[in-house]
Amino acid sequence: MENKKWWQSSVVYQIYPRSFNDSNGDGIGDIPGITERLPYIAELGADVIWLSPVYASPNDDNGYDISDYQAIMTEFGTMEEFDIMLAKANELGIKIMMDLVVNHTSDEHKWFLESKSSKDNPYRDYYIWRDPKEGMKGGEPGAEPNNWGSCFGGSAWEYDKTTGQYYLHLFSKKQPDLNWDNPKVREEVFSMMRWWLDKGVGGFRMDVISLISKPEGLPDGIPMGTGYASWEGCATGPHLHEYLREMNEKVLSKYDVITVGECPGVSMEEARQYANLQGTELNMLFQFEHMVTDHDPKTGRYGISKLNLPRLKAAMNNWETGLEGYAWNSLYWDNHDQPRAVSRFGNDSKKYRELSAKMLGTCLHLMKGTPYVYQGEEIGMTNCPWNGMDEINDIESRNNIKQNIEKGLVNEKDVPEILRLQSRDNARTPMQWDDSKNAGFTTGTPWLRINPDYTYVNAKDATERDDSVYAYYKKLISLRKSSELIVYGDFKLLDPDNAEVFSYIRTLGDERLFVACNFTDHEIELSMPGEFENGVRIIGNYENEMKNTLRPYEAFAIKNS
C-alpha cells in the first residue's frame, strides 16, 4: 500500500466566494461572509477548503483573470480580513487551499501592460506573441498564427495594433497566456507561491495546469465543428512535467501541502505522472472524463445533454483502476464550472431530490480518492430554471451558445433548456442559507439570480433535520474518517453494462464493502454477492433495510462480517 498521507483521508469543500455569503449587503459574497460560515463547514466535517480565486481581478471570468496575485479583490474585502479568515479556519482544523491561476493572467496585470507596450520591453517575453500568418495583414480573417480556438469561443489569438503582433489566450482575450518557457515567469510564480505558503495557506488547486507548456512551434490542431482546434486538445507541450517537477523541487517539497491540478482532456499516462505516488509533481488531479459522458458529441456541452449510466460508470472505473498503484485519485460530481449533480445525474423533483442527492453522495464518497464537495451540494442544491440568456452572467455560456446558434448546431428555442442543463451559472447561483428573502445570502440585490427553490432547499432546514442531505453527507464524511477500507481499499466495478444500477466492491485485506446505487425512479431487483448477505449495512438512504430490492434512488453500503 502507498505511503499514507493526510490529504488522502481529507474531504475538501469548495467555496465560490462571489456566491457564498455576503456580509455587507452589496449583493456579492465576500471574505468576512466566509469567516462567518466556517463553523458550518467544520460541522460538516470537511478539513480543507478550496477557495476559488479571491485575488484582485477585473472579473472578466469572475476572478480567474488575475491582475495582482498578492492583493485581495476589493469586492471581497482586505488582506487583513483574509488573514482573519485563515486564522479562524486553522483554529477549526481547516486548511485553506488557494486557487492558483497561472496559465494566464488578466490583461490588466502589470506584466501584461508592460508586455504589450513594445516589442523590446523586458516583459515582452512573459507572454506568447506571434506575427500574423505569412503574407497576411494582422487583424484580417485567417491571419491568426494558428487555428487554435479559445475555450470561450472564437480564435485563441488577439491582434494588438500597437506592436503588430497577436497574443495567445486559450480563454478570454482578457486572459493572455503566460510564457512558461521563460525562466523569469517560472521564478515569479514560484516566489508568489512561497509568499502565500509562508502566510500559512495549506496548498493549491492549480487552474488548467495541463496547459502551461505549449507545443514547439505552436502547430495547427484538428479543427472541430466550430472551425477551430480544441483549446484543450492542442496545447499540451513537452515541458509540462519538467516545469511541475521544478515547482515541486523549489516550492512544494518545502511545505506539507495539498495540491490538485486541473487537467481537462488528460490521458491516463499523463495523469500517472502528474499525481505520481513518489510525490515529485502534484498530489492529485481533476480529470473530466465523467463530466462529458452526458454531452451530445455534436454540440459538446452546449446541446441537450442526457445521463448515460454505462458511460458514466466506465469513466469513473477508468480512473479508479487506471491510477491504482501509480497515482492518487480525486472524486467530484460538482464544481463552479459544472451544472448541479442532483439535476444532472439524479432527480431534482420534490419527490426524489433528497433521496437522489444522498444516492449520488454515497456513490462518490465510498470510492477511492479524495472527495470534493462543492458549496450547496451538501444540501442538494439544484439547477436553476433560467428563462433565457438575459439572466446569465457566465462568459462561457454566453459566448459558446451564441457560437453554436450561429453555426446552426443548436436551435434558439432550446436555449433556456440548454442553460438549465449545462450552464456554469447553475453552480454559481447564490448559496441558499435559509428561507428568508434572497435565501439569506444578502440583504441587498444578489449579483446573480437566486434559485427559486430556496424556500425549501436551504442550509437552515438541512442542518435542523437529521434526515437531510446535509446530515447524510456528514455521516459519509465521518465514515471515511474512521475507515481505512474506504480510504485505501481497492475498487472493483460490478455489472458495467447495467444502465440502472451503479454497484462496486472495495477491498482492503479481508475487509470488503459492497455499494449499490439505483440511478432510476423505479424499483429494481438486486442480486447481492453472497458474502454480503449477512453483512452489516453501514449507511443507506432509506430508513429500513430491504434485501434483494433497490427502491427508487436507493443507495446503501454493506460491509462483510
- Amino acid residing at 335: N
Residue 177 touches which of Ca ion, ligand ISL, none (Cβ within 5-8 Å per kind): none
Q: Mask: binding to ligand ISL, 299-318, rule CB under 6 A, as x and -?
A: --x-----------------
Work out whether 431 is an interface residue with Ca ion (CB under 5 A): no
Q: Which residues pair with 282 in a beta bridge?
A: none
State the catalytic residue, choosing from 61, 81, 99, 262: 262
Residue 396 touches which of Ca ion, ligand ISL, none (Cβ within 5-8 Å per kind): ligand ISL
Nearest-approach distance from CB 554 to ligand ISL, in angstroms: 30
* Distance in angstroms between the alpha carbons of the first and the last residue of the chain: 23
Q: Which three cell numbers stand for residue 479?
A: 465514515
Work out whether 454 is an interface residue with ligand ISL (CB under 6 A): no
**H helix intervals, 280-352:** 309-322, 341-344
Which one, 81 or 262, has the nearer CB to ligand ISL? 262
Work out whether 264 is an interface residue with ligand ISL (CB under 6 A): yes
State the catalytic residue, choosing from 22, 47, 207, 334: 207
Among 156, 208, 271, 379, binds ligand ISL (CB under 6 A): 208
Q: Which residue number places its CB atom closest to Ca ion? A: 30
Cβ-Cβ contacts under 8 Å for 22 (sequence gap 6 or more): 28, 29, 30, 33, 430, 441, 442, 443, 444, 446
Residue 22 touches which of Ca ion, ligand ISL, none (Cβ within 5-8 Å per kind): Ca ion
Site for Ca ion in 216-275 (CB under 5 A): none
Q: How far apart are CA 8 and CA 6, in angstroms?
A: 5
Read out DSSP for 62-117? TTSS-SEEEEE-GGG--HHHHHHHHHHHHHTT-EEEEEE--SB--TTSHHHHHHTT
Work out whether 378 is an interface residue with Ca ion (CB under 5 A): no
Which one, 22 or 378, has the nearer CB to Ca ion? 22
Work out whether 348 is an interface residue with ligand ISL (CB under 6 A): no
Q: How far apart are CA 538 and CA 118, in angstroms?
A: 65
CA distances from 494 to 250, 291, 477 (A): 43, 21, 24
> 163 by DSSP, 3-state: which?
coil
Work out whether 78 is an interface residue with Ca ion (CB under 5 A): no
Work out whether 443 is an interface residue with Ca ion (CB under 5 A): no
Work out whether 18 is an interface residue with ligand ISL (CB under 6 A): no
User: Does the annotation count 188 as an active-site position?
Assistant: no
Among 75, 144, 337, 378, binds ligand ISL (CB under 6 A): 337
Which one, 232 or 281, has the nearer CB to ligand ISL? 232
Of the candidates 370, 151, 363, 366, the residue with the CA atom closest to the CA atom of residue 260: 370
User: Does the annotation count 262 as an active-site position?
Assistant: yes
**H helix intervals, 261-394:** 268-274, 309-322, 341-344, 353-365
Residue 337 touches which of Ca ion, ligand ISL, none (Cβ within 5-8 Å per kind): ligand ISL
Instruction: Count interface residues toward ligand ISL (CB under 6 A).
Output: 13
Work out whether 81 is an interface residue with Ca ion (CB under 5 A): no
Work out whether 365 is an interface residue with ligand ISL (CB under 6 A): no
Which one, 449 or 559, has the nearer CB to Ca ion? 449
Query: Do β-strands 284-286 and 258-262 pair in parallel, antiparallel, or remain unpaired?
Result: parallel
Which one, 283 or 397, has the nearer CB to ligand ISL? 397
Work out whether 28 is an interface residue with Ca ion (CB under 5 A): yes
Of the candidates 199, 186, 203, 260, the residue with the CA atom closest to the CA atom of residue 72: 199
Q: What is the 3-state secondary structure (H, E, C) of 28-57?
A: CCCHHHHHHHHHHHHHHCCCEEEECCCEEC
Q: Mask: binding to ligand ISL, 73-112, rule CB under 6 A, as x and -?
A: ----------------------------x-----------
> 360 by DSSP, 3-state: which?
helix
Q: What burial letters (b/e) apply to 226-240, b meaning 16+ CB within 10 Å? A: bebbbbbebbbbeeb
Residue 264 touches which of Ca ion, ligand ISL, none (Cβ within 5-8 Å per kind): ligand ISL
Which stretch, 14-22, 38-46, 110-118, 455-463, contacts Ca ion (CB under 5 A)?
14-22
Which one, 128 or 476, has the nearer CB to ligand ISL? 128
Q: What is the 3-state secondary structure (H, E, C) of 386-403?
A: CCCHHHCCCHHHHHHHHH
Q: H or E element: which one contains 476? A: helix 469-481
Site for ligand ISL in 129-168 (CB under 6 A): 151
Work out whether 294 is an interface residue with ligand ISL (CB under 6 A): no
Q: How far apart are CA 185 and CA 466, in angstroms?
A: 51
Residue 24 touches which of ligand ISL, Ca ion, none (Cβ within 5-8 Å per kind): Ca ion
> 512 by DSSP, 3-state: which?
strand
Q: Which three cell numbers stand for residue 428?
A: 454559481
Among 22, 47, 60, 61, binds ligand ISL (CB under 6 A): 61
**C-alpha angle with apex 434: 540 to 421, nearest 5 degrees?**
65
Nearest-approach distance from CB 547 to ligand ISL, in angstroms: 41
Work out whether 396 is an interface residue with ligand ISL (CB under 6 A): yes
Residues lying near ligand ISL in the complex (CB under 6 A): 61, 64, 101, 151, 171, 207-208, 262, 264, 301, 336-337, 396
Query: Residues with catalytic annotation?
Result: 207, 262
Residues lying near Ca ion in the complex (CB under 5 A): 22, 24, 26, 28, 30
